[in-house]
Chains A and B, each alone.
Chain A
């Protein structure tokens, strides 16, 4: 037992010794663990990770994950990564708590562990990278509408249910920054309950109640598609711009028809890139994961950890006619 502890300690200190890995010209091996293989979103993240690896030079990316989105499958994958003695693990977790014991074991052996996209409980990772944050999203959704309304105008919000925490937080954050957009007036907030038919009806109602409406902001993937269809059917393409948060594969048709000028969602490529940058910085001790710490993430700038060891990457990424084709095949 004592010997095991000693070897672990020795191994840990060896791995922690700064610059040791690069001095021996051994690449830093970073494992990017997806919720499951074969999902476009994660394949795109892996692409970002490879981009970061090429930029950093001495990094080898191991992109892996279970075949289905289960915690059990992920634990098996993690165990094999621990056995391979990778330098860092960046995981998008299928379960907040189930992975903790395995990840703790990995950290005990000196492996850097971070979670990204879908987080792990704080005791199971050094830090968590969120794709964005509520204030950034709130600002983005109003900015998307305002960017196409230089003269100002009326916008309305089509949300999910009146009780959905995500949407309410984002709308609240949006209201906070309304002072930055003095010409934009939010005339109504309606709720489509994330049902295609109700969202469609609410969008129709908005166009009837506010004939001068310039934009509908739908921070929900069901709502934005339904609103775009309602605008198309009402013959108001070009008059009413539909924007908000959606997925490129679901919005491609509406961007091409002009019903939606642009919309946003996090960019999985950037996310994989940033997760790799952070994992590398922590594994080589260029940075430490502690509340308030700032970590450089290459072309994405930097992130700052909050008291829970979480950081927000960036504003949601904007998709429009210029890049929709590239991303609609990814996710």
Chain B
């Protein structure tokens, strides 16, 4: 546990160092108002990283989250166009996201297809469905109702509602992972599926639950995304699934499953979000930006792997010493 704690501490320090580095070039970046803006901007990434974390914990991966987000967002925009009130749209897109996640989960659970293959397929299907729904047409700012666009922007206690939704989601998922049987099942299934099976935990059912959670979060984020950027089209959040996976990996979620924390996923997403928001203002040539984002991911993973290697080897010794 102390090792886990220190890994998150390392990440927190890295975030502070990153902020200090940015502040040395562009001081206005670390003003509270701007940090709140960055937090809001990173909210979609954090929301999706939470879902992705639970999926990765069970040794799976969900590449369809961004497509799920885009499809649910488009449906939200279409419902809004039909005059459906927001109070109905929100639960509807969350349920729809959960259902789309359940498709992934069922295919993994009942047919035993590797999750990377399943979600690669559904990713394309979900994107294609948006095209079928709209014939490729855009839904634009003036076609969305004002209440639809206002919710994520509305301010409460100095933060936009979008950030508050993210914070509530982080707390709920954190609580669920720490306190509910499902949370323990996630770690058990990812840590040692056979042992989990013998302990009476259904591996498939747990993976299914993780996919449903990831889907529901993607559905919610779909609405938030469309409302914030006030435009919906087929390619919304294209390639975003890779950012989400990167955030998890930076956050120390073991890609082989069974290890990782909510705090790690959140900080991993924040780390990426800060870089994304800082690059436009620190005056780095756009030609370097992609290389810098990529290097940051690799360095974070290298640090994580190095930090994990030593503890991994001394566990037995420590057990011996304790015995």
A9 CB–B CB distance under 8 Å: no
A197-223 vs B, Cβ < 8 Å mask (1 yes, 0 no): 110111011101100000000000000
Interface string of B232-246 (1 = CB under 8 A from A): 000111111000000
Say whether, besides A201-B276, A225-B231, A195 and B286 are in contact (CB < 8 Å).
no
Asked if B14 CB lies within 8 Å of chain A CBs, one says no
Q: Which residues of B contact A (CB under 8 A)?
A: 26, 28-29, 34, 37, 41, 44, 138, 140-143, 153, 225, 229-231, 235-240, 276-277, 279-281, 283, 286-287
In the complex, the answer to whether A196 meets B142 with C-beta atoms within 8 Å is no
Give chain A interface residues in 252-303, CB to chain B under 8 Å: 252-254, 256-257
| B153 CB contact (under 8 Å) in A200, A233, A252 | A233
Determine whether A121 belongs to the interface, using a CB cutoff of 8 Å to chain B. no
Nearest neighbor of B29 in chain A, beta-carbon distance: A208
User: A315 to B276, alpha carbons, bound, how many Å?
Assistant: 36
Residues of B within 8 A of A190 (CB): 280, 286
> Which residue among B143, B236, B237, B286 has the maximum number of chain A CB atoms within 10 Å of its CB?
B286
CB pair A195 B238 closer than 8 Å: yes
Asked if A112 is at the interface (CB within 8 A of a chain B CB), the reply is no
Of B41, B225, B277, B281, the most chain A CB neighbours within 10 A belong to: B281
Beta-carbon contact of A196 and B140 below 8 Å: no
- Chain B residues lying within 8 Å of A252, measured Cβ to Cβ, are 140, 142
Alpha-carbon gap, A205 to B287, bound state (A): 16
Contact present for B286 and A229 (CB under 8 Å): no
* Interface flags, A243-257, vs B, CB<8A=1, else 0: 000000111111011
- Say what secondary structure dominates the interface of chain A: helix
Would you give 30 A-B contacts (Cβ < 8 Å), ordered by A? A162-B286, A162-B287, A190-B286, A191-B286, A195-B238, A195-B239, A196-B236, A197-B240, A204-B37, A204-B277, A204-B280, A205-B281, A208-B26, A208-B28, A209-B26, A209-B281, A225-B140, A225-B141, A225-B230, A249-B140, A250-B138, A250-B140, A251-B140, A252-B140, A252-B142, A253-B140, A253-B142, A253-B230, A254-B141, A254-B142
Q: How many whole Å from B237's CB to the nearest CB in chain A?
A: 7
Contact B229 A200 (CB under 8 A): yes
Q: How far is the CB of A245 from chain B (nearest CB, A)?
A: 15
A226 within 8 A of B: yes
A226 and B276: CB pair below 8 A?
Answer: no
Chain A hits for B230, CB < 8 A: 225, 229, 253
Chain A residues near B41 (CB-CB < 8 A):
201
Q: Which residues of the other chain, B, contact A226 by a CB distance below 8 angstroms?
A: 229, 231
- Give the distance in Å from the alpha carbon of A217 to the alpha carbon of B287 in the complex: 19
Which 6 residue pairs spanning A and B have beta carbons closest together? Answer: A205-B280, A253-B142, A253-B141, A191-B286, A205-B281, A196-B229
